[in-house]
Amino acid sequence: MTKFISFDGDEYPAFQAEGNAAQFVMPFAEQLLKGKGYDVGCGKKEWALPWAIPIDPNIDPSQDGMNLPLEPQVDFIFSSHCLEHLPNYVAALEHWSNVIKLDGKMLLYLPDYSQKYWRPWNNKKHIHVLSPQVIIDCLSHCGWTKVLYGGVDLNNSFTIFATR
């Protein structure tokens, strides 16, 4: 039986309040991300991409999205529902772009505005409201030349995949 939660007059699948949003984009990550990479903001080791190095202060307090090792550079960065928590998402994307090899990949999975609870004025853990166009423009600013937008899914989230 599918469980639902109510917020501000709307119904959402209960799994949206349980964490591990990455599970919904994982099949795409398996196809798109190869080699060595980071899963930034995974929350828990068991929620991280199995072949990625988990980066999250909940796992190691000395690691976060703004302090990734610069050497050696990695093939990819995966991040699910993380950027909206960072004080400066632009600086984070610039930093991540410098950590990835020139032929690298980035896969971002982010909450969509359509889920009212995830808006910063309703969920104080979220600092930003990010849209696909804002992320696409920022990645272009960071030197990414091929950026794909995957649309909004049933998890009220959107996917951005970038290559150079």
Tens of pLDDT, residue by residue over 110-136, are 999 999 999 999 999 999 999 999 999
3-state secondary structure of 35: coil
CATH architecture of 20-163: 3-Layer(aba) Sandwich (3.40)
| pLDDT for the residue 164 | 85
Closest C-alpha among 42, 3, 40 to residue 19: 42
CB 150 within 8 Å of CB 28:
yes
Q: Where are the domains of the chain?
A: 20-163
Note the pTM of the prediction, 2 decimals: 0.94
Position 26: which residue type?
M
Q: Which residues of the chain have pLDDT under 70?
A: 70-71
